[in-house]
Amino acid sequence: EVQLVQSGAEVKKPGESLRISCKGSGYSFTNYWITWVRQMPGKGLEWMGRIDPSDSYTNYSPSLQGHVTISADKSISTVYLQLSSLKASDTAMYYCARQAVATSFDFWGQGTLVTVSS
């Protein structure tokens, strides 16, 4: 069974950094890109970026370039999302998802709620 399991909820202060994880299982981890999607409270979905776990090649949303870093440790089938200089506007649910056919995302993590508040 394909599963993506994300790390738990985080509460951070403005200016701090954050790293959340997404562990894949039940499939060949290096054969599929992993993407990160953000959903602010009551809002829609926003694509943040993606990584090819086989070689750690990444693409980022231009609006988030420099604020976001996606990395992978294929030895433990885990992808990470790092956010620097957090702001209140980074408060959101963060999802990882597996990229399947073309650009579609066929399996999703359960989500990690990040709250940034002073």
Residues found near other proteins in the complex (CB under 8 A)? 35, 37, 44-47, 59, 61-62, 95, 97, 100-106, 108-111
Shortest gap between Cβ of 15 and other proteins (angstroms)?
26
Residue among 8 and 44 whose Cβ is closer to other proteins: 44
Nearer to other proteins, 18 or 64 (CB): 64
DSSP-assigned letters across all residues of the chain? --EEEE---EEE-TT--EEEEEEEESS-GGGS-EEEEEE-TT--EEEEEEEETTTTEEEE-TTTBTTEEEEEEGGGTEEEEEE-S--GGG-EEEEEEEE-STT-EEEE---EEEEE--
Of 72 and 96, which CB lies nearer to other proteins in the complex structure? Answer: 96
